[in-house]
A and B are shown apart, each in its own frame.
Chain A
Amino acid sequence: MGEHSLGEFEELVLLFVAAFNNEAYGVLILENLEKKLERKINISAVHVALKRMENKGFVESDYGGITNERGGRRKKYYSITATGKKMLDRQYELRTSIYKEIPKISFGQ
């Protein structure tokens, strides 16, 4: 099996999962994404990303308790796994290292 890759949108979702660790669920992630990105996102996109990352082993999920909200339907909370964290770190390092190589001269700084 090759290395699992991480798409751009998936990375964003994964960042939020990490940020709200153990508290992250579909609607929460969606609302925060919409706020940060300032555009409308369909909830299905969030779920697609979550399910894919769960298959790749970057996140894991667990049902919360039954509440009166949502007609008694339980929420599913996502948390980041060690592999997921490693993946995020690598993405971050990769980006910053490449970012650093941008010659300052090109933007006249």
Chain B
Amino acid sequence: MKVHPPKLAWKFFRWFCRKDYLEEIEGDLVELFEKRYETSPGSARRRFTWSVIRYFRPGFIRSFSPVNNSNATTMFKNNLKIAWRNLKRQPFFTFLNTFGLATGIAGTLLISLFIYDELRFDRMFSDAERIYRVNISNRIAGETNDYASVSGPLANVMRQDFPQAQLITRFLESGSILLRKDDSQKNVKEDRVVGVDETFFDMFGLRLLQGNEATALKEPKSIVLTPTAMEKHFPDGDAIGKSLTIDNGEDYLVTGIVEEMPKSSFLRDYSVFISLSSYEDAKSLAWNNWSYPTFVKLAPGTDPTVLQDFLSTVKDNYLIPWAMTFIPGLTVESSRQSEKETGNFMRFYSLALTDVHLHSPNISGEFNINSDVQNVYILFFIGLFLIVLASVNFMNLSTARSLKRAKEVGIRKTLGSSRPGLVRQFLTEAGLVAFISLVLAVLAATLMLPYFNELSGKSISMPFDNLVFWLILLLATLVLGLISGSYPAFLMSRFAPHIALKSGGENSLKGGKVRNILVIVQFAVSIFLIASTLVVFQQLSFIQNKDLGFKKDQVLIIDDADAAGEQLESFKNEVERLAQVEHVSLSRFLPTPSDRNGTTFFIDDAMNTDNAIIIGNWRVDHDYIPAIGLELIAGRNFDPQLKTDSSSLIINESTLQMLNMTADEAIGTRMTSDFRREDKENAHFMTVIGVVKNFHFESLRNGIDAMSLTLGTDATKAIIKLNPGDFSGSIAKIEAIWDEVATGQLFSYYFMDDSFNQTYEAEQRLGRIFITFTVLSLFIACLGLFGLAAFNAEKRSKEIGIRKVLGASVSQITYRLSIDFLKLVGLSIVLSIPLAWYAMNQWLQDFSYRIEISWWIFALSALAAVAISILTVSQQSIRAALTNPVKSLKVE
């Protein structure tokens, strides 16, 4: 029987041993092994293995670097060496080049990370591409409004009759609530609380850290917390099975701890989830409460148009039959007929979850302020600008320097260098600079990331552990190096040796025209960015100072005022008595982010769908209008003396438009939301008693929706208009009153104008991002101009010397040196301003209320560009002009 040495050791040996030793040593090993095997097989094996290990030492291990003695590698090594020496020889230009390029790469890297994060929004949920949200679009009197939430029963209907739906989840926004532990007197506030169906976790693939995904939200009065919320309420960590009192009312049982909500998702702000079955209203089969955002996950492989098809039947098959039970004479046909006549419509449609963040129209009742794909495009272009600027810089400086390299090229060619060889050499140099810049850029971007996150309101981290990230980075740098290096390489390798070697080699200096064009491009981009930044900021300040139709200043809002319970009225009366207080009002609705509500009203006694309108209905008190400074344009405010005012309604101008009436005509109009009763004649009608001037209660991106005010008692906020003066003193006094009437309850307040400003955070962020990258791009452009000016002054030192000898003054020479560049800047102004005007006009189209772009914006940007370029160039020019001509003329 043939014996074999241990396989693994043998294989290993064959793998590492150098080839020229292999046969001899292997032979000796095998011979020894066979001899020893006869006496003791075990020992032979062990000794064989041990010997193999002993051979694993330098001198016996083969070289693992691929054997490569080809000419190409040698040349590459040589090129790298030459490139390094060249870079070291001209530290100033190398610095300008790498610094500019690194700044560009770092900026672009940050922007790319931002864009990546935006594009990834909401996509981390399991099967996100199969999740759709149902919205409604409602057109009345020429006004179309979209709403993100629909009727509660829609989910039931889909569960029954739409089998393609794998999962359906409804949401019910509950705003902020107060939570209190059993054994505690103290309420703790949670800002974003939402009621969800039990399928919620399953639908979005959220894992429960404790508890069961399927059952946690099944039972009424169940509550699930994120770890952050748990920390807040149960610092000792043991929360499951404990109970929490909500808003000083009912007890809820903690049934689960869910993982933190993903940062780049519409759920990011939520920390508390309540089972939807806890809400009585959620079980209602009535279609008139439009408060439930509804999500559907389609079964795998389902064509999304199936969902759309189903949704377009919902109105005829479910909604109208329900309405027919209390509206006499209503049929599907009559509703179609009236839609045709009036142009009004109401339809359900689906919106892919992954489109909500970037690709959805202005929808009322969104979960959070959505971004717009336009911003992504804008940023993409800024990123592109940055990298183009940096690349142009590189080309400019390299070709400008080609004068100095002309002799080198001449000698190399004389000694037999081929043109491709020279191209490779210059490309290697470009690649090296690009690579050094990359290293610097990654370093800089990592350091700047925390500031950038603050600027952009994101929480991005560097994906250092992501191999693809590095690959893209390396590849992009390589491409950048090749592109930036190709023009200089092409240009410099073209020099004819006999010309290049002639004294000075000045004749061979080509590429002046291209260089000029590149400078023009750089400055055109910079001016474009300056102008755009100015427009963005002007629009922002316009929004912030626009007459909103209400007075947001000096208005203090006290949240969760309903915690005072019965004492709320006496709180109001006490506070009203304070000298510093002008008005106090109680409501849950504000023109700044707060609760919203839409109600269907039927106008006049004939309950005909033609006359149905959905308008906002805010329940307020008598002091609401003066407290937030609304202006009545017709009729009167609610009167505390008149009992009948409980059936009175004050509408805004947008509602007038819907009613197609003038303000005076509208007074006295009767409408009802009480249309579901059997005895129509006893329906509760409201009478319009006043019309308020339109005021902006949504972001200025949107128009002003129709809304109405009625008296009501479900207030959650106290709205306190203060007199000018010592606010902190007033707040202290108000807090003292609060502590008296609502002992132990949280006193949380904010000023309305702060809350208002937050609504425009997205624009402000965009503005800040704009200005940051504008400065960055200007900086890069200036680096390039500075380098060119320095080079130009050096090149023309003899000319300057001769001019000085012949009597030119310093100012004349400075002028001559600077004017060339200023001409280029002038050209770029002419090119960029129409572009900037066009682009910014497009951007402004998104705002319902916008500025007109005025000429001074462009004048200012042009002036800024000229001023900056003069500053950059003149320093070099003046220095050159001041040089003693003897110095420049004696060197040959």
Contact = CB atoms under 8 A, between A and B. Distances in A.
A70 B54 contact: no
B55 A30 contact: no
A44 B23 contact: no
Interface string A33-62: 000000000111101100100000000000
Given A27-B32, A30-B32, A42-B50, A47 B27 contact: no
A70 B55 contact: no
Nearest to A26: B28
B23 A74 contact: yes
A45 B55 CA distance: 9
A70 B384 CA distance: 68
Contacts of B51: 42-44
Q: Is the interface of B mostly helix, strand, loop or mixed?
A: helix
B23 A73 contact: yes
Contacts of B28: 25-27, 30, 43, 47, 70, 75
A39 to B, nearest CB: 14
B59 interface: yes
A46 to B, nearest CB: 8
Nearest to A46: B28
B26 interface: yes
A73 B34 CA distance: 14
Interface in B22-59: 23-32, 35, 47, 50-51, 54-55, 57, 59
Given A44-B51, A51-B59, A75 B27 contact: yes
Contacts of B21: 47, 51
A45 B51 CA distance: 9
A8 to B, nearest CB: 19
B31 A76 contact: no
Contacts of B47: 42
Contacts of B30: 70-71, 73
Contacts of A42: 47, 50-51, 54
Contacts of A26: 24-25, 28
A101 interface: no
Contacts of B57: 44, 48
A43 B55 CA distance: 9
Contacts of A25: 24, 28
A61 B803 CA distance: 80
Q: Is the interface of A mostly helix, strand, loop or mixed?
A: helix
Contacts of A3: none
B280 to A, nearest CB: 86
Contacts of A27: 28, 31-32, 35
A76 B27 CA distance: 9
Contacts of A74: 23-24, 27
* Listed residue (A45, A69, A73, A75) with the most chain B CB atoms within 10 angstroms of its CB: A73
A25 B23 CA distance: 13
A74 B24 CA distance: 7
A43 B32 contact: yes
A71 B10 CA distance: 14
B27 A44 contact: no
Contacts of B26: 73
A71 B30 CA distance: 8
Contacts of B55: 44, 47
Nearest to A76: B24
A33 to B, nearest CB: 13
A30 to B, nearest CB: 7
* Listed residue (B21, B24, B55) with the most chain A CB atoms within 10 angstroms of its CB: B24
Given A30-B32, A43-B32, A75 B50 contact: no
A70 B31 contact: yes
A44 B23 CA distance: 14
A89 B32 CA distance: 32
A48 B32 contact: no
Contacts of A45: 54
Contacts of A63: 23-24
Contacts of B23: 63, 73-74, 76
B32 A47 contact: no
A75 B21 CA distance: 11
Contact of A43 (B29, B59, B60): B29
Nearest to A43: B51
B27 A70 contact: yes
* Listed residue (B23, B28, B57) with the most chain A CB atoms within 10 angstroms of its CB: B28
Nearest to A51: B59
Nearest to A30: B32
B32 A75 contact: no
Nearest to B55: A44
A78 B853 CA distance: 94
A95 B307 CA distance: 101
Contacts of B24: 25-26, 47, 63, 73-76
A30 B33 CA distance: 13
Contact of B59 (A48, A70, A71, A75): A48
18 contacts: A25-B28, A26-B28, A27-B31, A30-B28, A42-B50, A44-B54, A44-B55, A47-B24, A47-B60, A51-B59, A63-B23, A70-B28, A70-B30, A71-B27, A71-B30, A73-B30, A75-B27, A76-B23
Given A69-B31, A71-B27, A74-B23, 5 more contacts: A44-B55, A45-B54, A47-B55, A48-B59, A76-B23
Interface of A: 25-27, 30, 42-45, 47-48, 51, 63, 69-71, 73-76
- Which 6 A/B pairs are nearest by Cβ-Cβ distance? A73-B27, A26-B28, A44-B54, A76-B24, A70-B27, A44-B55
